[in-house]
Amino acid sequence: MTPDPTRSTPGPAVTRRSFLEMLGLIGGSTLAYHSMTALGLAAASPQSPRPQLQGRGDGKKVLILGAGLAGMASAYELQKVGYDVQILEYQDRAGGRAWTLRGGDTYTELGGATQRVTFQRGNYFNPGPWRVPYHHHAFLDYAREFGVQLEPFIQNSDQAYVHRDGANPARLRMREVRADFHGHVAELLSKSLSSGALDQPLTGEDRERLLDALRTWGALDRNGRYLEGFISANHRGYDVSPGDRLQAGEPSTPTSLSFLLQHGFWEDIVPALTYDHQNTIFQPVGGMDALAQAFARRVNRFITFQADVKSLTATDSGVQVTYTDRQSGADRQVSADYCICALPLSVLSQKEVNVDDELKRAVREVPYAPSFKAGLEMKRRFWEEDDRIYGGVTYTNLPIQLISYPSGGLNRDRSGVLLAAYQFGAYATKYSGMTPQARLDLVRRDVQAIHPQANAEYRSGVSVGWHRVPWALGCYGMYTDEGRKTTYEVISRRHGRVMLAGEHVSYWSGWQEGALLSAISAVQGIHEAARA
């Protein structure tokens, strides 16, 4: 489906100030920040080191609640310096939200619906984390230490689609949207420069250099116009690609700026600019639970599985936890000198927590994001064979919101699993409330609208609505700006003999990096208290 390519009339001149304001409107504060970085007005955050613990734990016992990455990293670091550690874990496996579903797995959600995964050998689906940016130093350091094999995760593919449903449906390649938007913006800026309409005057030499840069960046012609031709086709692609000898190719027709703006196509070129989506991005080979499994091999002897924590009591002399053994049904108690609680706050808020009132109140004040994911296994990789899409993400205004194509096993004659829906907000809540089959039916309908081959190639599927996951009750902790100043500050502090850990005790909410960084700081905090 091709939109009306009629060109729109250029708007008024753009100033440096208004250009930065426009970037802020397009991409929010993140894009404006990166623009300021390019101008030398902002800097990246520093790397956080691994814990450097001086002295020994002398056998003091630390009880850790939750065997996700935060809990296991805490145990791993503390046992190295002589602490007696014990982890209580609700499930019969370690890893928490660093979770991968493979053929033969089963998953039972709140309400009792059970899904049985029937993927072929080698196929998998990550319901939780699915990528690791290059600047997530803690994750990458642990992966290197443990020998976890990584491969590139292809976040941005110029061959993927930006899809819009509605009165004027359209499906454009990502490269076409990016090239057209850049071209139109470059043309506007070029005309502003040519007319001398910038706030701050440039020298004649600088102005010519900037005009040259805009022509190159925006694929403009010698007169500063973004038009159909071989110059713009070199960015957005061709209707007929250049071939051998006399086959010069046929340029494609740019989409009008008006159409791009009216239908919000520009919104989906912004994710590639944000700090956590910039290359290089990684994924563990074979599934996102690889690092969790590596941690588990090192701390498994400290984990008590199938332990449903009922209460946590902290006193001046120690901590006591009551839990139910889910296999026998018996209640048990365990005491320790200190506690690192790495349970999601959505779960902790439903427990009997006998700590100071300030912390109890803060735990109840943090909402958890609703999120929904669906994975569809296809008989063949039609996105590669038919659409020539190798990794990357297609964005759409349909309820599924996006399709992510697998980055592993590229160009192989085998089946594959699409991340066929990744929702937040109202749609996530709606889909999570449906039966698993009803969800998959709707997801398949939307995928079919983008890839007509999908229904014929469908083999099986699985879905996870995070508010229905018994041991998580939500995707990740959310804070307002005010909450970061008040609630978050309380949650981050040590409260006597208790410290919290998990992605919710970091500024990397929803990322494994946040869980690991919170563990590092919790270990340091507990060690300092114990040594004191």
Q: What is the pLDDT of residues 292-348, one digit of tens each?
A: 999 999 999 999 999 999 999 999 999 999 999 999 999 999 999 999 999 999 999
The yes-or-no verdict on residue 23 having pLDDT over 50 is no
Give pLDDT, residue 122.
Answer: 95
Give pLDDT, residue 387.
Answer: 96
Q: Which residue has the higher pLDDT, 50 or 201?
A: 50
Give pLDDT, residue 286.
Answer: 97
Give pLDDT, residue 196.
Answer: 62
The helix (run of H) or strand (run of E) holding residue 218 is helix 204-218
What is the spatial distance between Cα 445 and Cα 294, in angstroms, rounded to a whole number? 38
What is the domain class of 61-96+292-366+479-531 according to CATH?
alpha beta
DSSP tag of 487: H
Q: Write out the residue limits of the CATH 1.20.1440.240 domain(s) in the chain.
A: 16-44+169-262
Q: Which residue has the higher pLDDT, 20 or 219?
A: 219
Give pLDDT, residue 36.
Answer: 37
Regarding beta strands 238-240 and 250-251, do their DSSP bridges make them parallel or antiparallel, or are they unpaired?
antiparallel
What is the spatial distance between Cα 22 and Cα 32, in angstroms, rounded to a whole number? 9
Mean pLDDT of 86-113: 97
Q: Residue 421: count other Cβ atoms within 10 Å of its Cβ.
A: 30
The burial class, CB within 10 Å (0-12 / 13-18 / 19+), for 141 is middle
The percentage of residues in the chain with a pLDDT greater than 70, rounded to a whole number, is 87
User: Each residue of 416-450: pLDDT tens digit?
Assistant: 999 999 999 999 999 999 999 999 999 999 999 99
Q: Which two tokens stand for residue 258?
A: 């008006």
At 3, the pLDDT band (50, 70, 90 cuts) reads very low
Q: Which residue has the higher pLDDT, 480 or 235?
A: 480
Cβ pair 530, 337 in contact under 8 A: yes
The percentage of residues in the chain with a pLDDT greater than 90, rounded to a whole number, is 66
Give pLDDT, residue 263.
Answer: 83
Beta strands in 275-364 (DSSP E): 281-284, 303-304, 307-314, 319-325, 331-336, 338-341, 352-354
Helices (H), 39-90: 69-80
At 35, the pLDDT band (50, 70, 90 cuts) reads very low
Q: Which two tokens stand for residue 142?
A: 């642990």
SS3 368: strand
User: Each residue of 197-243: pLDDT tens digit?
Assistant: 555 555 677 777 777 878 887 888 988 888 999 888 888 888 886 65
SS3 58: coil
Give pLDDT, residue 50.
Answer: 77
Q: Write out the residue limits of the CATH 3.90.660.10 domain(s) in the chain.
A: 101-158+280-288+369-468
Give pLDDT, residue 49.
Answer: 63
* φ and ψ of 167, to 5 deg: -65, -35
Give pLDDT, residue 20.
Answer: 40
Residue 408 identity (one-letter amino acid):
G
Q: Write out the residue limits of the CATH 3.50.50.60 domain(s) in the chain.
A: 61-96+292-366+479-531
Mean pLDDT of 361-370: 96
What is the spatial distance between Cα 6 and Cα 218, in angstroms, rounded to a whole number? 18
Mean pLDDT of 393-407: 97
Q: Residue 151: count other Cβ atoms within 10 Å of its Cβ.
A: 14
CATH number of 101-158+280-288+369-468: 3.90.660.10
What is the spatial distance between Cα 211 and Cα 194, in angstroms, rounded to a whole number? 8
Q: Would you tell me the crossing angle of helices 69-80 and 290-299 to the nearest 10 degrees?
A: 40
Mean pLDDT, the chain, rounded, equals 87
The yes-or-no verdict on residue 32 having pLDDT over 90 is no
User: Each residue of 245-299: pLDDT tens digit?
Assistant: 456 678 889 988 888 888 888 787 777 767 667 788 999 999 999 999 999 999 9
User: Each residue of 167-207: pLDDT tens digit?
Assistant: 889 999 999 988 888 888 888 778 776 776 555 555 677 77
CATH number of 16-44+169-262: 1.20.1440.240
Q: Which residues of 123-139 are buried (b: 16+ CB within 10 A; e: fewer)?
A: bbbbbbbbbbbeebbbb
Flag whether the pTM goes above 0.85: no
Give pLDDT, residue 246.
Answer: 54
